[in-house]
Structure formats: structure tokens, C-alpha cells
Chains A and B, each alone.
Chain A
Amino acid sequence: MAHPQIAAFARLAEGGKAPVRRIEGQETLLGRASHAIVYDEIHDEIVVPQGFAQAILTFRGAANGQERPIRVIHGSRTQLKDPDPLAVDPVNNEIFVPEDNRVLVFAREAEGDVAPIRVLRVPDNIRLRIPGVFPAQNLLVVSGSPSQGERNNQLLIFDRRAQGDARPLRVIGGPRTTLGDDVGELRVYHDWIVVAHTVTGKAPADPSWPAVSVWSVHDEGDVPPRWSMNLGKIDGVSVDVKSFDLDPKNRAIVVATGRKPNNSVLTYSFPELFEGRD
């Protein structure tokens, strides 16, 4: 893309309404192709990966304009290779960064050239992708798939404190899950695991049903989701979710799309997800 930025839009913005602020410019250290962003409500911080320079950037929650990050994790000790998705545990103050078949865990307040405080490894043939954390039950959820051959995704559920070659506590995966090839995004909200299926995945199990689906962190095996919300069509084309986040206060889910529809942010009501979990 021509212009790296983090644009902040008012919740009720619609159409071509301009963002209320932008984080942009050389000072920000931002690059293009940010495939993760986390807003840490407890500490009022924004955390993003910087894949080109192998770094994790943390900004003030109110950052605006050409503002430097307040912390940067970066350097030879970090073991960062191609940081892409990440998750933040604001309760236990940790940042989780999957890299191939490992999850690197950093102290949230780490800065500079620091080693991870622990590393979780799975077998070499598994590629870990998108993490989520449930601090109340000390659970780490990571989407993953075999790196060769079979492409179906699974959701691996670990003890949050797992390290080394620890095995998952349980795994959700299989044809009934319809996880397919491409888990576009994953969030853990209380004990729900919320996952985006994408249309442009190489072989979504159910291409007629591009959706955000929900499992419990207690689920296990080849189980279909508890909820699956189809995001409908815009101008006759199924919505292709690239990413999403949750707005618990307004019982909504906010979806970002790149191609279908092009360069858009959509908000959906999803009260079922938040019922009884405030």
C-alpha cells in the first residue's frame, strides 16, 4: 500500500466520513501490512507488529499524528522473525507472538532487545497463526494448521503458561468445524473463541457461508461452532472478512475487509455473543 497508517474512526462513522485521527509518518516506525492490532483497555495502549523490521510497537492509546511508539521490542535477542498476528494479555502483562511452530511470549512492558520470557513449541509440521488469551482461566488459544499437505485449521488450546514442548489441553478441529483453510482472525471473549472464516481462503469448508463463528474454550474435537453469523452480501458479493474486533458495550462486531467489499469497515450487531458475559 502506498500509505501506512493507523486510522481511528468514530464508532458511528459511516460512508466516507474521515477518521478523527491518524497515526502516521516516519516517527511512528509503522510499516505496511499490519496484520494485527490490539487495543489494551486496561493500560490504554495500542500494540501492533512491524514485520519488515521484526518488531513490536506499542503506542499510547491516544496517539495521534507523527508520534513515536512508547515502547519497541526489537533486536537480535527477541527471536522475532516475521511478526504478524499477536495477542495481548493485559491482566498478566504478556504479549503472544506466533512464529512458525512457536509462540514467543514477551513481557508486556518489555522494551528494546529483550528475549522472550518463554517460548512454546509445537511439532515442526504445524504452523501457528493467530493467538487469543483468556486470562481468567489461564488459557491460550492459537489457530494452527499443518504446514504441508492437509490444510484444515485447528484451534489449539493451551495453558497460558505453557512453554517448551507442552501439549495442548485440547484441540478443536475437523470437517465439522468448517474452519477450512483460512482463519482470518481470532478473538477470545470471556470463554468464547470467536473466529472469522474467509471467502478468499484457499478452500473454505463452506464457501457459501462466510461467517464469524463461535466456540467455547471448553469445546474439544470435531465439533461445529455454537454460533455462526453469516455476514451477508454487499452489492451481491459475500463479505470477505480479513479481520474483526468486538465492541462489548454496544454488543457489536467490527469487521475489516480488503477486497469484498473493497477497503471497508463494517459493523454488525451480535448481541448473542455478549449475553450474560458483561
Chain B
Amino acid sequence: MAIRALCVAMVAVSIGWGFQKTAAKGTSTLEARLFGSWSLPSEAMRVISPGSAGTVVAVVWQRQEAAGVARVAEARSTVRIERKPIRMIQDPYPTLSAVAVDMERNEVVATDENLFQILAYGREANTPPRAAMTEPQWRIAGDRTGIEFICGVYLDVPKGDIYAIYGDVPGLMHVFSREKQGNVPPVRELRTGGDLRGRGLAVDEEHQEILLVSQHNSAVAAYHKQAAGDDAPIRLLQGDRTGLANPHGIALDRRNDLIFITNHGQASTRSTTGVDLSRLKPNIPLGGKLAVPGSGRFLPPSISVHRRAATGNESPLRVIQGSRTQLNWPAGIIVDERRGELFVANDTGNSVLVFRADAAGDVAPIRVLKGRDTALASPVGLFLDTKNDELWVANYGNHALTVYSPSAEGNTAPRRIIRTAPPASEALMIGNPGAVAYDTKRGQILVPN
């Protein structure tokens, strides 16, 4: 059967070559279509023999010359093949990107950027060292949820609402109800658009606002807390003076009416010169199409501190930045208003850095939680449980949530650990790979995020 299919395929290919030689003499018809006027014949293709797995479907087509008079019938076949993969690399376990604690219900909620789900565990769960993993108490997952590449979470505890943002889909924020678990749609959807793909999320209950951080366009947009559908933001912070540069995490300091933003340090300038501003949706970040060529910048990583209600191209009040800070792809960030401290999940530093909340410039952290015993691995999400005085960390690199005293430092082991995978299983950290390359020298597959 295979030999028969191959023979048919070879005939088909030779027909194809025959066509190619003929067609090469003709007018460059598609070129005419792009650069001039040309219309395609209405007839598209006619199947001569039905195709099935591993067989050939022959196609007859007609070519119409630009003058619209001569029609030349030619034969051209496509060899159609169906294959299954011979190997597949895929992390079978959750990759944890954000964490929040429901202090009333004694639950911890985590987001999984790999398998597209929201997971809930008992707050006091602690995976035994030899256990394979801890199963969640409940989860929200499945095709009806719309969850993809989920990277941020906020819990509205009194209402039982779960706010979720996605880092790499065309701009959505979803609100799920804790009362509806499993494969359920969100109870509310806010369509922010592709230029406001969220990366960081904070909700300001006092002012009833949602704050979304746009990684792609180095901006922070504020919405009414009840925003839904295509509602526009009420405020936008974006521009070269803001100091925002590939921002990730956001933290609210309610006591001092501030926001803190972690920045990886890359940005480019936007310009609206020649743009009909009436066509732009209010307060949506200016996207890459409005980037000024050659204006890109590489800056040191930073924490920029802004007025909570900062708007437009407003400068930060201060910036924590420099070699003493140890910042290395800073991600999640929280403020401990009681102690006046700032906690930063330092992704590639495999550490949690603690600064004075009023720090500025090139300052060293006042504490660093780092080391083999900490079980920190690419930490990206943080939450401070003020009721139980615990610091929670979502580790992107090892499928684990880890819990510490907020005053922990050095190589301190976590109080508890919730593993979502067997011990010592390293997360692949593949995140919506938009490219792949094969390293022929080393026989390796290169996968960027």
C-alpha cells in the first residue's frame, strides 16, 4: 500500500513539475494582482479522486491571463500526507504564575500558565516530601473558561470573585465566580484589546478601580472596577518619561496612595504624528504600530514608583535601579504597608528581594531570601497574607507554591510547600512559543518564549 501511494505521489509530482515549466513562461499574474488590477477566475479546484490518509488528491485548475481572454488549463497535484508526531515535549504539570490567599475561606488560589487553569488549595496544605503532589480542592479549567496563558489573579473575597488576566492573548480580563467551578465560562469579560495585553493586575477597592499593566506597550491603564465588554479605560499612564519599560508586576500602597511597578527594562517611543486621534480608543495604550523606528532602549531593571492616579506621560516619583539592587527580571511585587517594606519576586535571581518601601536609587535590599533550601525557582508571583502573617510565592520553575515568614531571609526553608508535580521536577517554562529552531551542531531544539 505504501509503495502504491509513493508511486502515485511520484506521478503527481512529475505533473506538478510539468506545470511549473509551462507557467513560468506566462505573465506574473499574482504580481499583477498585488501591484495592479487582476481578478482570479471563480473556479477554484476540482477534486478528481477523493483523498484519504496517505493518498494523493489531484487537482485541476485554470489560469486566467491578465487580459482576461486566454484560459490555460493545467494539471497540478498536491501530495497530501497525514502524520502523527513521533515525539512531543510538553510539561504535564502546572506552571504557577500568580498566587492569592482567600483569608476568609482559608484557601489559596494559584494560576497555571501551562495547562490554562485556576487551582485552589487549602491554605494550610503541605505536600509531604515523598508524596507525588497535592491535588487541588477545586479548579476552573476547560475550553469554556477561555483561560489561556493566565498570568495574574486577584480575589474579591467578599463577593467570591476571581479576576484573571492573560499575558499573551488578544487582551481580555475575566472574572470568575468561586461558586461556579470546573469548565465554566467567566461571569464577566472585559475586552481590553491587543494593545493592552495584561501582565500585571491590581484592584483598588477604595477607589473601585482595576489597574492593568501592558508589558508590550509599557503602560498602565485604569478601569472602573465593574468595567465589562468594550468599556474603555478611565486613565492611562504611558510615555518615555514614565520610566515604564517592559513592565510586569504592580503593587498598590493604599496608605501612601502609590503604585509600584517592576520593569525588565526595554521600551520604545510612541508617536501619534499623522494619526487621526479620533480613531483611537480613549486611554488604550499606543501600540507597536505607532512605535518610532530606532527609538528602542535597553535600560537596567527597575522598580518605578508612581502616584496611584498618575496619568499621561508623568514621571515616576522615584525609581529603584542599579547594580546594588540585585534586580534580575523582577516580576511580582507587593507592599507590606504595616512594615513599610516592598517584596519583589526576582525571577532569574531565584530570590525574593525586600526593600524599604521608601527606597530610591541604587540601593541594596534590606533582606534577600535566596538559596537551595528556600526552594525558590524562578519566582514570579507573590502574595502577603496579612491575617496569618505569611509570604506566598508562586515559583514558575518548579511547579510549587512556597510559604515563608515575611521576615525570612537568607537560605531559609519554606514553612510549607504545595507541590503540583513530583519532587524535583523542573518546569519546562515553555510559554506560548512563537518560534523554534533546530541546532544542527548539537542536535538540540531551541525554543524561545
* Residues of A bordering B, CB below 8 Å: 1-20, 22, 24-26, 29-39, 41, 44, 46, 48, 50-55, 61-62, 66, 74-82, 99, 113, 122-123, 126, 144, 146, 154, 156, 167-176, 185, 209, 213, 216, 218-232, 234, 239, 242-249, 252, 254-259, 261-270, 272
A9 and B115 within 8 A (CB): no
Question: Across the two chains, which residue of chain B brings its CB closest to A244?
Answer: B436
In the assembled complex, 19 residue pairs joining A and B whose CB atoms fall closer than 8 Å, in A order, are A5-B429, A5-B448, A15-B92, A16-B93, A31-B246, A35-B434, A46-B439, A53-B266, A54-B268, A54-B291, A81-B294, A171-B30, A228-B79, A230-B81, A230-B83, A243-B433, A256-B436, A264-B89, A269-B83
B88 and A265 within 8 A (CB): yes
Question: Across the two chains, which residue of chain A brings its CB closest to B299?
Answer: A53
Question: Across the two chains, which residue of chain B brings its CB closest to A18?
Answer: B426
Given contacts A18-B428, A173-B30, A243-B433, contact A218 B442 (CB under 8 A): no
Question: Across the two chains, which residue of chain B brings its CB closest to A99?
Answer: B293
Chain A residues with CB under 8 A of B149: 1, 258
Q: Is the interface of B mostly helix, strand, loop or mixed?
A: loop
Question: Across the two chains, which residue of chain B brings its CB closest to A72?
Answer: B298
Chain A residues with CB under 8 A of B81: 227-230, 270, 272
Question: Across the two chains, which residue of chain A brings its CB closest to B330?
Answer: A26
B327 and A26 within 8 A (CB): yes
B439 and A14 within 8 A (CB): no
A266 and B76 within 8 A (CB): no
B347 and A3 within 8 A (CB): yes
What interface size band does chain B fall in? Answer: 35 or more
The CA-CA distance from A249 to B444 in the complex, in Å, is 12
Bitwise, B253-278 to A at CB < 8 A (1) or not (0) is 00000000000111110000000000
Chain A residues with CB under 8 A of B264: 4, 26, 31
The CA-CA distance from A35 to B447 in the complex, in Å, is 10
Selected from A76, A167, A224, the residue in CB contact (under 8 A) with B76 is A224
Question: Across the two chains, which residue of chain B brings its CB closest to A241?
Answer: B436
Question: Across the two chains, which residue of chain B brings its CB closest to A86?
Answer: B435
A17 and B89 within 8 A (CB): yes
The 4 closest A-B pairs by CB, nearest first: A54-B296, A171-B30, A1-B431, A34-B448
The CA-CA distance from A146 to B80 in the complex, in Å, is 28
The CA-CA distance from A172 to B83 in the complex, in Å, is 26
Chain A residues with CB under 8 A of B437: 37-39, 46, 245
Question: Across the two chains, which residue of chain B brings its CB closest to A26?
Answer: B328
Segment from B20-28, B173-181, B352-360, B411-419 that makes contact with A: B20-28
- Please give 4 more A-B residue pairs, beta carbons under 8 A apart, in addition to A2-B378, A80-B294, A258-B149: A10-B445, A174-B40, A216-B20, A231-B85
Given contacts A25-B329, A53-B268, A81-B293, contact A225 B78 (CB under 8 A): yes
Given contacts A4-B449, A171-B30, A229-B83, contact A243 B434 (CB under 8 A): yes
The CA-CA distance from A268 to B215 in the complex, in Å, is 34
Chain B residues with CB under 8 A of A146: 34
Chain A residues with CB under 8 A of B168: 1, 32-33, 258
The CA-CA distance from A18 to B95 in the complex, in Å, is 13
B246 and A52 within 8 A (CB): yes
A1 and B294 within 8 A (CB): no
A79 and B59 within 8 A (CB): no
The CA-CA distance from A232 to B53 in the complex, in Å, is 10
Question: Across the two chains, which residue of chain A brings its CB closest to B348?
Answer: A25
Q: Is B425 an interface residue (CB 8 A)?
A: yes
The CA-CA distance from A254 to B86 in the complex, in Å, is 10
Q: Say how far B342's CB is from chain A's closest CB, in angstroms.
A: 19
Q: B133-147: which have CB < 8 Å to A? A: none
Selected from B13, B23, B435, B438, the residue in CB contact (under 8 A) with A223 is B23
Q: Say how far A174's CB is from chain B's closest CB, in angstroms.
A: 6
Given contacts A5-B449, A256-B436, contact A175 B44 (CB under 8 A): yes
Q: B49-90: which have CB < 8 Å to A? A: 59, 61, 63, 76-90
A258 and B433 within 8 A (CB): yes
Q: Say how far B146's CB is from chain A's closest CB, in angstroms.
A: 12
Q: Is B289 an interface residue (CB 8 A)?
A: yes
Chain B residues with CB under 8 A of A113: 294
Q: Say how far B346's CB is from chain A's closest CB, in angstroms.
A: 10
The CA-CA distance from A77 to B16 in the complex, in Å, is 45
Chain B residues with CB under 8 A of A19: 428, 447
